[in-house]
Amino acid sequence: MTEPTPKPSPPRLPKTAGPKRATTPKPRAKRKARRRPPNPALAWARRLARYRPRLLEDTLDRLGELYGRPVWERRLDPTSELVLTILTQNSADINAEKAFVALRAAYPSGLAPEHHRPGIGWGGEGLPAGAPPDWAAVEEAPLAELIDVIRPGGLGPQKAPRIQATLRKIREERGDHSLEFLGEMEPLAARDWLTSIPGIGKKTASVLLLFCFNQPLMPVDRHVERVAKRIGLLPAKAPPDLAHDQFIAMLAGTPDKTYETHVLLIHHGRVICQARSPKHDLCPIRDRCRFVDPKAP
């Protein structure tokens, strides 16, 4: 038997590309319009105006009736105001006054005396009349000596280097220690300039700019923060940094009321709405305060 011869396999055909298909362009997906992230300070001010109308106005009217409407008046030159404010950081105003008086005595400038008019928001007695210290001498003083001079104010070892670094930065940038130029600047730009100095936050910068130039920047210290959060002018968990801007947004329509707002709230926090035992019965804002009534209008 002979073996069957295998069938030849069909020749392979070369692959052809074939006719090109016309491709229809895909419609481009519409770009979503990017929404700007909401400004949290502005958003809060709008929400408050919508759900609790006239809360800030009522608060100011009632506190103004009780304590009188404070009128802005410059109380010190800006460099003195800045150093005095540094001295008040974590210290009672009355002790900061003692340290400032000691600075004047240790580094006399011979300039014209200033008259400190602290007004009702200040927790000390007011400085006696006196010339501002010689800031160049304060900047160049041996650190140990300066710590000793400001010791009556408390926290001398922390504050003395901060004061010297602040004075140094001002002189290096401006040629002298004067801060009068800040009065010519746009308020937020002036605040930025000050907060670029290490150890100067929004609160200290706003104190200087409000008290020396009546710029509409609200310093939120512990009294202002406590009273405002209790009433509901600030959200309960507002971080201090944001609280400053929330007040700016709330006062955007009436920036000239910033001084009055600060002074009335701080004074109320000192005399009636104290941290430990607030005197609700004496308080003119009671019916609008969320601390005593969580559903207050």
Binding site for ligand SF4 (CB under 6 A): 227, 230-231, 272-273, 278-280, 283, 285-286, 289, 291-292
Least Å distance between CB 296 and ligand SF4? 9
Least Å distance between CB 269 and ligand SF4? 8
**Based on C-alpha coordinates, what's the Rg of the chain?**
32
Nearer Cβ to ligand SF4 (104/262): 262
Nearer Cβ to ligand SF4 (165/292): 292
Q: Which residues contact 297 (CB under 8 A, 6 or more apart)?
A: 52, 287, 288
In terms of Cβ atoms closer than 10 Å to its own Cβ (0-12, 13-18, 19+), residue 99 is buried
Q: Are 224 and 262 in contact (CB under 8 A)?
A: yes
CA-wise closest residue to 83 among 224, 249, 200: 200
Which DSSP symbol is given to 92? Answer: -
The three-point CA angle 280-220-269 to 5° equals: 20
Tell me the C-alpha to C-alpha distance, in Å, between residue 285 and each of 13, 16, 71, 289: 95, 89, 22, 6
Nearer Cβ to ligand SF4 (46/286): 286
Nearer Cβ to ligand SF4 (169/290): 290
Nearer Cβ to ligand SF4 (75/226): 226
